[in-house]
């Protein structure tokens, strides 16, 4: 899940090593099928291809040869300009089936030069196989015979690919991100267990937990202006007005500017809070990674809240009519946020019934994919 830093830039996990293994395996199987009656010569284009070629070759089921080349560019004379030369090609490829192995093809500029050099040798056939391909930026007419995975035009590192020489040793692919934080909205009706789970998850992922309900209660206890204002709403189980809550939330985030990210618990509770949160985070180059909802039926929740009211002393947990009003607020104003985040592909539901640690595991499994 974690974002990494290489030089001055941040990268987040993108393509797992398991997924890469599936891609290399299927490319090897397909190419072997097409080269049934011959021994192909695979030519890896250094540096980026070394991990891919190594894994690919191990999956290749029949005889094959492997070699590597590198395109070196240097300044020639004034009239020749920049000269490109292939370094490392010693084999006689006359009459052979040659398959170029690339880790990634984007514009195709380098590949075109390499392709032309091989075309000039008297090979029987020349093919190109690439693990990753960026179709939207590819500018050449070259035939790409085998593609592991087409990806959007995003800068990626890992599995041999580098950013200014770093990142080649990562065993999976990461993509560049301006986002440095992991921000999670923990969602669910009153009593779903958001506070309990947030406490466990904040330690596990080193995140700051902001519970708007807790901040309000702290202010009420200390009889601040904010507390006095919020109390009248909270006592009835009504929502505190949006602008008051949004300002308070922003102040809490600003207090923790160095955080790895936040678990928002009890916020947002209305569409306008969700919109304000998106706008506020985007000013910082950040975003919500996902809304994780604890799903629990209402009947179970009333019981849970009345039980909690006996120990916590929370007056809004002790009176069934206040509890019902909070559900009403939730169902009429908050539940629609499921759609808000679903539209952004950021909604993840989890069963909130069962053993506390089991539920933490369910939530962690979701967080690990964000």
- Would you name the residues annotated as active-site residues? 194, 269, 308, 314, 326
Position 274 contacts ligand AMP (CB under 6 A): no
CA–CA gap between residue 335 and residue 135 (Å, rounded): 40
# residues contacting ligand AMP (CB under 6 A): 16
> Rule CB under 6 A: which of 94-153 touch ligand AMP?
none
CA–CA gap between residue 310 and residue 119 (Å, rounded): 81
Q: Which stretch binds ligand AMP (CB under 6 A): 39-47, 180-188, 198-206, 212-220?
A: 212-220
CB of 58 to ligand AMP, least distance (A): 53
Position 294 contacts ligand AMP (CB under 6 A): no
Position 301 contacts ligand AMP (CB under 6 A): no
CB of 217 to ligand AMP, least distance (A): 7
CA–CA gap between residue 268 and residue 288 (Å, rounded): 11
**Alpha helix (H) residue ranges in the chain:** 17-34, 50-59, 109-119, 194-205, 212-221, 225-236, 242-255, 271-283, 298-312, 320-329, 337-343, 356-367
Q: Which of 212, 219, 289, 360 binds ligand AMP (CB under 6 A)?
A: 212
Position 237 contacts ligand AMP (CB under 6 A): yes
Position 322 contacts ligand AMP (CB under 6 A): no
> Rule CB under 6 A: which of 39-78 touch ligand AMP?
none
Q: Which residues of 43-62 are buried (b: 16+ CB within 10 A; e: fewer)?
A: bbbeebbbbbbebbbeebee
CB of 304 to ligand AMP, least distance (A): 12
Position 219 contacts ligand AMP (CB under 6 A): no
Position 245 contacts ligand AMP (CB under 6 A): yes
Task: Using the minimum distance from each CB to ligand AMP, give the nearer residue, 102 or 265.
Answer: 265
Contact pattern from residue 173 through residue 202 relative to ligand AMP, giving x for each residue in contact according to CB under 6 A and a dash for the rest: -----------------x------------
Cα 65–chain centre separation: 37
Position 280 contacts ligand AMP (CB under 6 A): no
Q: Which of 213, 290, 309, 352 binds ligand AMP (CB under 6 A)?
A: 213
CA–CA gap between residue 91 and residue 95 (Å, rounded): 12
Q: Which residues of 151-190 are buried (b: 16+ CB within 10 A; e: fewer)?
A: beeeebbbbbbebeeebbebeebbbbbebebbbbbbbbbb
**List of long-range contacts for 141-150, beta carbons under 8 Å, 24+ apart:** 142/108, 142/111, 142/112, 142/115, 144/105, 145/99, 146/27, 146/30, 146/31, 148/23, 148/24, 148/26, 148/27, 149/15, 149/23
Task: Using the minimum distance from each CB to ligand AMP, give the nearer residue, 97 or 273.
Answer: 273
Task: Using the minimum distance from each CB to ligand AMP, give the nearer residue, 114 or 184.
Answer: 184
Position 269 contacts ligand AMP (CB under 6 A): yes
Q: Which of 96, 134, 326, 362 binds ligand AMP (CB under 6 A)?
A: 326
Position 239 contacts ligand AMP (CB under 6 A): yes
Position 267 contacts ligand AMP (CB under 6 A): yes
CB of 167 to ligand AMP, least distance (A): 40
Q: Which of 197, 273, 289, 360 binds ligand AMP (CB under 6 A)?
A: 273
Position 296 contacts ligand AMP (CB under 6 A): no
CA–CA gap between residue 370 and residue 288 (Å, rounded): 10
Q: Which stretch binds ligand AMP (CB under 6 A): 35-43, 70-78, 235-243, 355-363?
A: 235-243
CA–CA gap between residue 41 and residue 100 (Å, rounded): 8
Helix (H/G/I), strand (E/B), else coil: 269: coil
Q: Which residues of 117-136 are buried (b: 16+ CB within 10 A; e: fewer)?
A: ebeeeebeebbbbbbbbbee
CA–CA gap between residue 198 and residue 202 (Å, rounded): 6
Residues that bind ligand AMP (CB under 6 A): 190, 212-213, 216, 233-234, 237-240, 245, 266-267, 269, 273, 326
């Amino acid at each position: 899940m974690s974002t990494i830093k290489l030089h001055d830039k941040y990268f987040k996990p993108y393509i797992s090593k398991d997924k890469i293994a599936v891609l290399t395996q299927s490319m090897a199987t397909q190419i072997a099928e097409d080269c049934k009656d011959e021994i192909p010569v695979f030519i890896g284009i250094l540096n980026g291809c070394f991990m891919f070629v190594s894994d690919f070759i191990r999956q290749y089921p029949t005889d094959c040869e492997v070699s590597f080349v590198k395109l070196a560019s240097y300044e020639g004379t004034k009239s020749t300009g920049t000269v490109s030369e292939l370094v490392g090609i010693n084999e006689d490829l006359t009459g052979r089936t040659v398959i170029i192995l690339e880790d990634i093809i984007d514009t195709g500029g380098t590949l075109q030069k390499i392709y032309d050099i091989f075309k000039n040798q008297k090979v029987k056939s020349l093919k190109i196989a690439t693990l990753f391909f960026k179709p939207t930026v590819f500018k050449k007419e070259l035939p790409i015979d085998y593609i592991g995975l087409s990806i959007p035009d995003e800068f990626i590192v890992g599995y041999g690919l580098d950013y200014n020489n770093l990142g080649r040793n990562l065993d999976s692919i990461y993509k560049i991100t301006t986002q440095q934080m992991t921000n999670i909205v923990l969602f669910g009706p009153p009593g779903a267990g958001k506070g309990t789970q947030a406490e466990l998850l904040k330690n596990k992922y080193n995140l700051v937990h902001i519970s708007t309900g807790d901040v309000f209660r702290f202010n009420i206890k200390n009889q601040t202006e904010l507390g006095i204002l919020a109390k009248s709403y909270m006592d009835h189980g009504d929502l505190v007005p949006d602008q008051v809550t949004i300002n308070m939330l922003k102040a809490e985030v600003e207090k923790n500017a160095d955080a790895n990210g936040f678990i928002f618990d009890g916020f947002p509770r209305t569409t306008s809070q969700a919109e304000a949160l998106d706008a506020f985070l985007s000013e910082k180059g950040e975003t919500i990674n996902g809304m994780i909802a604890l799903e629990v039926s209402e009947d179970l929740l009333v019981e849970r809240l009345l039980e909690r009211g006996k120990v916590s002393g929370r007056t809004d947990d002790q009176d069934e009519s206040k509890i019902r009003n909070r559900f009403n607020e939730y169902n009429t104003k908050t539940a629609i946020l499921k759609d808000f985040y679903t539209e952004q592909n950021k909604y993840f539901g989890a069963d909130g019934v069962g053993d506390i640690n089991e539920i933490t595991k369910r939530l962690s499994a979701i967080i690990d994919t964000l």
